[in-house]
Structure 1
């Protein structure tokens, strides 16, 4: 099975792989199933998605990997897959952050501004199509197997409509069972079902909903 690379969520807040993947138990659960896991930290307060990709790309092994990305990490994963053909064999987009929602974007804009982002940086981070930082054309170009994990229950920042929009652009994508997104406390009881579903997808033993 290819190496699994985990790309954590977050957008300028104090988030890293330890808090998103390790503490909730996802890394250890994958390793118990015999899966080699890498969980690098994304760039701290990057000023654009291209910068995020340039930071992450050198950390990838020199063979095709499986990527599991969470929330805003989905933007990095899709950009990596679309700009580095052949580096990503499979991809799971878990709890993709909702883009182009006026209320969500305004809230995110205010938060980023408070953290010191310039207007130009905020515009760059909020740009894109269905997924931030990614054109819909780039999403449509994905040919590798893609799994989708919805947030259940959905919330304003991780809406059901985002999953549906990705499925419309990537018709071969498989929807996997949903869950809360880490590091939310309620995810603690959902770690094993989440990892079971993801592992099934990686081995081809899980069908779409």
Structure 2
């Protein structure tokens, strides 16, 4: 079973736009995978709440988690809080923490949704990933793949991928591509699906 955790943070992104319309979740189901692709909470107070939301939809056996962009923070918090439910963690296009320009826009989006200053700090603060310390990343024990945004961009920087590969034990870099719903993703769909299939089949 595969759990897909979509990206976005205060910008109206959902699972349909991130996974269904680009063709990812339908193709995985055609390949025979059971796929869960829930919408993340629209107004979470912190990343732990997102992890609890995801855990509530999971069966009692371990699954492969494929997370995109800011969904990587939610997925890592899930893996830290419920390690018995996560057998593999694929972090695709991980969102970069600590970039002033990117954080300024995210802060404005979250404030427009009515998020408090405390909640905004909880969602944006972090080291390599938002809402996660580097020590916590170093404690991940499951199989982990990191897939860069290629080409890179301000929200998904190469330095974040390099830091994850350095911090997470036995992690590996997977072939990169643009992130959905970027129009450039379509040309990379087949390769991305092959990457997920290989990763989930190990």
| Deviation, structure 1 residue 147 | 0.8
**Normalising to structure 1: TM-score of the pair?**
0.92
Cα distance in 1 between the residues matched to 2:112 and 2:35: 35
Partner of 1:63: 61
Query: Of residues 15, 23, 35 in structure 2, which corresponds to 1:17?
Result: 15
Q: Does 1:119 align with 2:117?
A: yes
Q: Which runs of 5+ in 2 are unaligned?
A: none
Cα distance in 1 between the residues matched to 2:106 and 2:42: 17
Q: CA RMSD in A?
A: 1.2
| Deviation, structure 1 residue 103 | 2.3
Q: Is the 2:51–2:81 contact (alpha carbons within 8 Å) kept by the matching residues of 1? A: no
**Normalising to structure 2: TM-score of the pair?**
0.95
State how 1:183-198 maps to structure 2 within 5 Å: 183-198=181-196
Cα distance in 1 between the residues matched to 2:113 and 2:56: 28
Q: Deviations over 1:161-202 (max 9, x none)?
A: 100000110141111110100111111121111011121122
Q: Which moved more, 1:134-143 or 1:107-116?
A: 107-116
Moved >4 Å (runs of 4+)? none
Query: Of residues 154, 157, 163 in structure 2, which corresponds to 1:156?
Result: 154
Q: Is the 1:4–1:68 contact (alpha carbons within 8 Å) kept by the matching residues of 2? A: yes
| Deviation, structure 1 residue 20 | 0.6
Partner of 1:207: none
